[in-house]
Each structure stands twice: as C-alpha cells, then as structure tokens.
C-alpha cells in the first residue's frame, strides 16, 4: 500500500489526505513525496548547513543494519541507493526496512493485495518501517511543521472514516477505525505521534484485515525527522508497535546529537 499524500508543500489539504491515510491502490503510476518542504529534500537546493551539523551527519546517524532484529532487511538507504531520487524517499537522509518474517509465515498467492506477500495464522502479514530526516537552514522551519501538523491532528478526533475515492491513476483506499494522538518528547526533541487501528477499504467495498499504522515526528534545531510504520495486527500488541517507533527515534536522535 502506498501513501498518496504530497508533503512537498506544507498545505492543509495534502496534510489531511495523509492523516486520513488514503492510500494509492494497484495501478497507480507512482508515489508522491511527503517531505515537509521540497527545499529541504535535495542537497543541491538546500542552504548550506552549519559546520556542526551537516547533511552527511544525518546520513551517518542512520542506524546500522544490525540495529534491527536478525532477519530484517534494509531495502533502501539514502543518500546512495537508486530509489533515493524518487518522491517517497526524497529527504536529507532516509532508511526503509522490511522487518523479519514471523515463524510460520507462508507466501500469499491470493493476489488480493499488492503488498501483502505473506500470511500468518489468522491474517495477512505486511510490515514496513520508514525513517526520514530533513535538514533546514533555520530552527524555525522544523518547529513550525510540528506545530502545524500536531494542531491538525488534535482536531481530527478519535474516529477514522474515509471513503475510497477514484483518482487519475486508479483509486485511493478508504480507511475505517480509530485514531490516537499524543505529544512526544525524546532526548529534548519535541513532536507527536499518531497511531491508527484501521482496515482499508477498496473501491469495490472489499476490506483488508486490521492494521496498526504509526506515524511519529520530532524536531530540534534545524532538523525534522519522522518514522512511518505499517504493522500487521495479528501477533502484535499496539503498545509494542508504538514502542518500536519511539525506540528508533530515541536511537536516531541520540546519534544526531552525538
């Protein structure tokens, strides 16, 4: 499943689209980026960073492959990998991980979902972790994004009920379930997290099995960082899903701070 939100400009309609978790279905021609601002996503267009914190230092601070449990696979590391110039990964630094398969996972040959390639007892298995960070020229920009996005999340309430919608490239999934939002402070970095327990709804009405979708963002100084995860409910506790995100942010922000 792929996000259809476009965060290349911090505009409210795009923000709400991402927060509502409307996702681009099969047949889409590609993903749009969801970075807070385009000017921070490319080295060639970013203002020169202070010597004490550079774009390279954000990349160097990304967790090593062995940070993740044995069996996990780092599929994208930016800068450097081929996909890094495509919108879903455009950031100063980025890391995408496919967690290890649980015991008993079997290949899913149903073809009902383009991303659910395995099944476990009682449900489909499809998980991904995406960590990204952007370096800006001033402290004000990251703080402003946190304030804007957290303010909108507070207004959205606890209920998720978004209908599927046709698009030029196919359709966006609908979603139905519950939402939780809380402020978050880690290592002196301030931000928020949102966790949704939802099912996705196809245009024809078919629903997926429930998932935990966690999105957390932090800012400090000139850096804005976020983690997005999609977690299979079967065999996983919601608190564990949130803890995995906050632990990753704690490790990454500590590495940035040195």
Q: pLDDT tens digits, residue range 201-239?
A: 988 888 887 888 899 999 999 999 999 988 777 666 788
**Are 183 and 150 a contacting pair, CB within 8 Å?**
yes
Alpha-carbon gap, residue 227 to 50, rounded angstroms: 25
Alpha-carbon gap, residue 245 to 214, rounded angstroms: 8
More reliable by pLDDT, 171 or 110: 171
DSSP element (H, E) containing 141: helix 140-156
Residue 41 has pLDDT above 70, yes or no: no
- Label residue 14 by pLDDT band (50, 70, 90): very low
pTM above the 0.85 mark?
Answer: no
**Are 164 and 148 a contacting pair, CB within 8 Å?**
no
Alpha-carbon gap, residue 33 to 4, rounded angstroms: 8
By CB atoms closer than 10 A (0-12, 13-18, 19+), residue 117 is middle
Residue 157 has pLDDT above 60, yes or no: yes
By CB atoms closer than 10 A (0-12, 13-18, 19+), residue 155 is exposed
Alpha-carbon gap, residue 35 to 108, rounded angstroms: 32
- Label residue 187 by pLDDT band (50, 70, 90): very high
Please state the rounded mean pLDDT for residues 17-24: 40
φ and ψ of 255, to 5 deg: -65, -40
**Assigned token pair, 141:** 């920009």
Please state the rounded mean pLDDT for residues 90-116: 72
**Are 181 and 191 a contacting pair, CB within 8 Å?**
no
- Label residue 19 by pLDDT band (50, 70, 90): very low
Helices (H), the chain: 12-19, 55-60, 140-156, 238-257
Q: pLDDT tens digits, residue range 106-150?
A: 676 665 555 556 666 656 666 789 999 999 999 999 999 999 999
Q: pLDDT tens digits, residue range 54-89?
A: 999 999 999 999 999 888 889 899 999 988 888 878
């Amino acid at each position: 499943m792929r996000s259809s939100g476009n965060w290349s400009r911090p505009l409210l309609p795009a923000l709400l689209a991402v927060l509502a978790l409307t996702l681009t279905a099969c047949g889409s021609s590609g993903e749009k980026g969801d970075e807070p601002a385009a000017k921070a996503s490319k080295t060639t267009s970013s203002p020169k960073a202070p010597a004490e914190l550079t774009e390279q230092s954000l990349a160097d601070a990304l967790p090593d492959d062995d940070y993740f449990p044995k069996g996990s696979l780092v599929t994208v590391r930016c800068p450097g990998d081929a996909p890094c110039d495509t919108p879903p990964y455009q950031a100063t630094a980025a890391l995408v991980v496919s967690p290890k398969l649980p015991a008993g996972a079997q290949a899913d040959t149903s073809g009902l979902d383009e991303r659910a390639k395995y099944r476990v007892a009682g449900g489909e298995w499809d998980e991904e972790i995406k960590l990204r960070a952007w370096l800006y020229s001033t402290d004000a920009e990251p703080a402003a994004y946190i304030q804007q996005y957290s303010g909108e999340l507070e207004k959205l309430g606890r209920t998720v009920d978004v209908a599927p919608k046709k698009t030029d490239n196919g359709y966006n999934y609908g979603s139905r379930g519950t939402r939780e939002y809380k402020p978050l402070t880690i290592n002196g970095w301030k931000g928020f997290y949102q966790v949704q327990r939802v099912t996705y709804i196809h245009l024809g009405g078919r629903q997926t099995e429930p998932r935990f979708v966690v999105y957390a963002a932090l800012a400090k100084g000139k850096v804005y960082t976020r983690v997005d995860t999609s977690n299979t409910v079967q065999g996983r506790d919601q608190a564990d899903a949130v803890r995995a995100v906050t632990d990753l942010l704690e490790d990454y922000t500590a590495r940035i701070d040195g």
